[in-house]
Structure formats: structure tokens, C-alpha cells
Structure 1
Amino acid sequence: MTEQTTPTDSALPHQRPPANASTLIYNRAGAYLLHLRDDIPGIWEPGAWSLLGGGREPGDRSLEDTARRELREEAGLDLLDLAPFAVEEARDSDGRTVPVQIFTGHWVGDPATLNLTEGAMLHWFRPEALSRLRMASSTRDLIRRHAELLRLDGLGTAAEGAAGNNSPADRPSPPSTPSRGGSTVLNVIGAHLYLEDADGKVLLGLRHPDSAYAGSIWHFLAGHCEQESALMCLVREAHEEAGLLIEPGDVELAHVVHLVDTPGGRPRMQLVFRARRWSGTPEVREPDKCKGWRWWPPDGLPAQTVPYARAAIEGIRAGRRYTETGWS
């Protein structure tokens, strides 16, 4: 966690909006990823185990952006799915109370493989080991509260919000476990647009360098399904991202890619839809996500293309409907 934004002294802690963000990262075994901070006087929580995070910077559009930037900068972590969990109050090096927005994220991996740029180390800890660690009591309580919610969810009990007023959407999801362990593994569903122009070229967008996923790489127009059907997700994303108008009846499923990005990571079902007709010319409507649209020949895709997008295009050209990748 970098130096925190200094709060104004005129407002009470609970009245100030958070200007800091941290991420509670857990794995499917119910362990939590903690960061051992440098033991340097004057910094936030010197020599203590804490969450990865830091203060909001001018370029951050939201506190989620802050959390994602800090994860990338401090540990080279790029988590696709973050969810707000709670607002906690911590004390900075001057003893002032600072509100911190806590997000949750799921990751399965070896911390030793991460590129740690701040602090001494990262390590997984089970909640029962926290009492032996030097850490802020508020962090310890936060983790235990989250672990209890996971336990209740795992038993099929409706979990109450961490702060007493969280909506169901704010509650953490239980960690995924392999099906052989007896638990259902929730897959992320993505909707992708496959467009061909009159010359048979395929539309791809160049992702923004600061994108949470695939920065500076060419990719389909795509989005995660929200509380909507996959087709409606596709129609919405096409209009929001590129100004294209597509009727659901003009769309057909062209290919499916079932993948795991990292060993043991959360599975993803990527649905690639072909639109036979549409109106509009592709334009950059979300410059924070896409730098530009371009039509590419299928046999001449740019070297920097998202691998599963390339696999889907190859599958469509070969007449295949399904591809698996990343599964061991």
C-alpha cells in the first residue's frame, strides 16, 4: 500500500468518501493473500502483514481503478473480477483515520512467481493463522468476517452483508473448487462479436494500454454478461463500445472457447457470435477501453492478438464450433 491520501480534518471519518482502495484476495482453499510490508519508519503499517492497495491517484476513474492499478504496480496481478465488499477505517502513519474501500478478488497461484515491487513478500494464510501475525486488528477482523461469509455461503445459508448493509451483489462469492471436490464451479460468461466486412476481413479492437485485461493487444468487441442474456449483452456492448446497431435476430453462435487463463484459475466460457447484418461504422466510444477499430484479414492477424480470439477465428474458418484451451 503506497502513501495514503490525507483526509480533510473537517469531516468525520464515516462522512468522508473513501480515497483509498485495498483488495482482499482469496483462493479456493479459503486462504488469503497477504503482503508483508517493508519495516521502514514513517510508512503505512511498517513491518506488518496487510492487503495490497493504496491511495487514489488523479488518473484513476474510480476506486476499482485504484485497486487494479495497485495490484499491477505492486505485484503484477491482473484480476478480471473485483467486487466491492466493505468500507473499513484505518489509521495512517500520523494517527488519522482514513476510510478504505475494500474489494474482493479470487486468484489461484504461487505468490513466489509474482513480480513484487514493494514490501518483503506475499504469502497465503488461512484465517486460523492470523492470530500469530503482526497485522492491524481491523484487517484481521475483516478477513475473518469474509471467511465466515464464505463458510455460510458454502453451507447454503444466506450470508449477511459484512457491514450490515451490503446488498446481495456486494457479497463475496464462495471460492471455486474442482468438481471432483463436490462443489459447483461458477464460470465467467463472455459475449464476443465476430464481424466480417465485404472483403472477409474481421473487426478487432486495440485494447487500451491500461486495460485491466489484454492491454495493447487486439481483441474482439466483447463484454461480460451482466443480469441479461448473452445476446442482449452482445447487442449492448456493440452499441456502447463501437456505435453499432445489431438486431438479436441477425446474430448466430459461431464458436465457443472454454478456457482457463492460469493453472487453477476461474474457468471462462467465451461465446463468439457472428452478426450477419448491422448498421453503423465502428467508432471508438469508450477510449479508456479501446484505442481503435480495424478490419484484419483472418490469415493476417496482428502478432499481438488475444490467443483465444485467434483460436476462435481459426475455428470459425475451419468450420469448428468449439475450442478448449488452458485445461491440463
Structure 2
Amino acid sequence: MSGAQWLSFAEVTSPTLRAKLLGEQLDGRPEPVNASALIHNGAGSYLLHLRDDRPGIWQPWTLALLGGGRERGDTCLEDTLRRELAEETPGLRLDDLEPYAVEEDTSVDGLHVPIQVFTGRWKGNPDLLDLREGVLLHWFTPDQLDRLRLSPGLADLIRRHAAEHPPRVRPDAAPQVWDGGSRTVLNGIGVHLHLQDDHGRILLGLRHPDVRYAGGSWHYLAGKCEQESATACLIREAWEEAGLVIDPADVELAHAVHVVDSLGGLPLLQLVFRARRWKGSPEVREPDKCVAWRWWPPHELPDQLVPYTRTAITGIAEGRTYSQLGW
């Protein structure tokens, strides 16, 4: 019989093989064939999924975790979970996905079903996802759980994870949103310095490999606005980072790039200013952020260049004042 495998009596009576054939572990408990995602944003909030209220739906009209059952073709439960997420919420990609716990639930048939729970980190806006199953996705904090209709045991699971994993960032570091008839998201503002020397070469800095954004890449001299105007920020950053002195009268807006780095991420308006004159030569004054300054010919830009920096340089060369990326 082509493709068939015959088992000896000893193999059939082996406890290990019998457990494998029956889908059980050696302790007698069934092996999980369902997977769920405990998704958190690193700031103390957890993403919950409101189920449909339809016949045959497991725990209808209840807030639960995303996930589902293993299907033929899934090589492991992590594959099962990633497939389910792709089917239910295309565009939701998890960081740091790893097994966390095995929880037990009750199916629509009254059977006790073990579920492998994975944890993963995501910092996006669920309102921007294409939700194809269920009613909504929303962020909740552990102190809100007592007011919600949750699947059994979920509140304890979330509180346990929250106690074991304190927030990595402040809750107020997430994008601020307010309601004024329509949902409006605050955009971050960044300033960038476009300098060209007498040979037309462009000044770029090599970012330290350990910085949070674009480590090991070349980038404009740049910074984020504090409680100050964009030009004041530019002049301050030029002095602090490179020892350059710029007169506000010598600064003009050259280009703007509206950027979204990731689905659901905070939009950033990157303003690029050109300085017609300046005093000083670029020097490394913040080595924990930038390890070198270099003048680059426009036709020989480095391969490891921040994408929106390249976009701005191209736009300035072509005489355009606006570009956008990630929308």
C-alpha cells in the first residue's frame, strides 16, 4: 500500500505513541489544538475582541481574545494563530510572539477545550484595521475589566500578565485622540536640516546603532519639537548635535514629508528646512545619538538612508515641496 505505514503491536501499545495518536499529553490532559493571542501595547493596555451575536458563535457578544482552531496545513499552533489573525484582522502583525499559558474553556458542545495562549506586542490603532470577524477591537486596561462582559477566566489571565510585565512605556506616550464629531489623531512634528556645501554635497549623520529609531542608518540632522517653534527647534538641534550656528533669517522651509511608519502608528509631519548660511563645521557632540557627520554627493547617497530622508532629498532636487509615505 503506497504511502501507508504499518505499526507493530509494541508501537501501538506504547504510552507515548498512544498519547500522540489520541491528541493527549503524557499527563492525560488533551493537547491544545486552539490558539489565542493576548495582545498588549507595552503601556498597560490589552486588545480585546467583541464577538458576533450569531447562532453557533462561541461565547456571543463577549469580549475575548483573537484566535481560533488548528486546521490542516498548520504546522504548529503559532502558525494557527498567525493564520487566524491574517483572516480576522489583516494588517495586525505582532512583535515578540511567544507562548504564555495554556487555559481551559468550554466549547459550544460543552466540552472542556485547552487553548494555547500566546503573547504579542502591538502599538497600533485598532480602528484602522480591516476587522472581518466580530464587532470591534478595543484597548482596555486591567482596571476596566470588572465593568466588561468577558470570556471566563480572561480577567485573571490579563491581571496575571500585567503583574508579571509592568508597562515598558508610559500610558500617556500613546497617540492622543479626542472626539470632536470625528476622531482626530494628533500628529507628531519633526524638524530636519538640509545643508548643501559649495560642491552641492548634502550633510548627513550616521545614527548610533543602539538608538531606538533607524540605528546604523544615515539621516538628516533632526529633532522633535518641544514647547517651541519649528525654526527654534531646528536652530537648537543644529547647535546641540553638530555645533552649527544658524541665524533664523537664513532658514526657509524646503520640503514636508507626511509619514506613517506602521499601520495604526502615530502620523509624523517631517519638516525639512534649508539653511542658506551657517557658521562652524559639523562635529559629533552627541555620540550616543550620532557617531559621524559626512557630506554626500546627491548622486552617491548611502544605501542605508532613512527612507523619508531619501524622499525629501529627491523632492527638493525636483522642486517639489510635499511628499507622503505609508498612507
**TM-score, normalised via structure 1 length:** 0.54
For residues 185-204 of structure 1, the aligned pairs below 5 Å read 185-204=185-204
SS, match of residue 159 in structure 2: coil
Query: Does structure 2 conserve the Cα–Cα contact (< 8 Å) formed by 1:315 and 1:321?
Result: yes
User: Residue 110 in 1 paired to residue 89 in 2?
Assistant: no
Deviates more, 1:177-186 or 1:239-248: 177-186
Q: Deviations over 1:48-106 (max 9, x none)?
A: xxxxxxxxxxxxxxxxxxxxxxxxxxxxxxxxxxxxxxxxxxxxxxxxxxxxxxxxxxx
Partners of 2:180 and 2:263 in 1: CA distance: 16
Paired position in structure 1 for 2:279: 279
Equivalent position of 2:119 in the other structure: 121
Match of 1:259 in 2: 259
Map of 2:298 onto structure 1: 298
Q: How does 1:175-324 map to 2 (within 5 A)?
A: 175=175, 182-324=182-324
Task: Say which SS state the counterpart of residue 255 (structure 2) adopts.
Answer: strand
Q: 2:208 is matched by which residue type in structure 1? A: H
Residue 263 of structure 1: how far off its partner (Å) = 1.5
In structure 1, stretches of 5+ residues that fail to align are 1-21, 33-108, 147-169
CA separation of 1:313 and 1:175: change in aligned 2, threshold 3 A: closer
Q: In structure 2, what is the Cα distance between the partners aligned to 1:319 and 1:205?
A: 23
Give me the identity figure in percent: 53
Deviation at 1:110, TM superposition (A): 3.0
Q: Answer whether contact 2:42 2:121 (CA < 8 A) is retained.
A: no
1:131 corresponds to 2:129: no
Offset at residue 134 of structure 1 (A): 5.7
Aligned-partner Cα distance in 1 for 2:279–2:251: 13
Instruction: Tell me by how many angstroms 1:184 deviates.
Output: 1.8
CA distances 1:234-287 after superposition (whole Å, capped 9, x unpaired): 000000000000111110000000010011211000000000000000000000
Q: Distance in 2 between matches of 1:220 and 1:232?
A: 17
Q: CA deviation at 1:181?
A: 7.6
TM-score, length basis structure 2: 0.54
CA contact (8 A) 1:258 1:269 kept: yes
Partners in 2 of 1:255 and 1:213 — Cα distance?
21
Query: How many angstroms apart in 2 are the aligned matches of 1:217 and 1:190?
Result: 17
Note closer, same or farther for the CA distance 1:269–1:24 as it changes in structure 2 (3 Å cut): same
In 2, distance between residues paired with 1:226 and 1:181? 28
Give yes or no for contact 1:176–1:183 (8 Å, CA) kept in 2. Answer: no
Return the offset for 1:133.
Answer: 1.4
CA separation of 1:185 and 1:304: change in aligned 2, threshold 3 A: same
Task: Summarize the alignment of residues 69-84 of structure 1 with structure 2, pairs less than 5 Å apart.
Answer: none
AA matched with 1:291: V
Tell me the equivalent position of 2:77.
none
1:140-187 deviation per Cα after TM superposition (whole angstroms, max 9, x unaligned) = 9x99xx9xxxxxxxxxxxxxxxxxxxxxxx872675569998122100
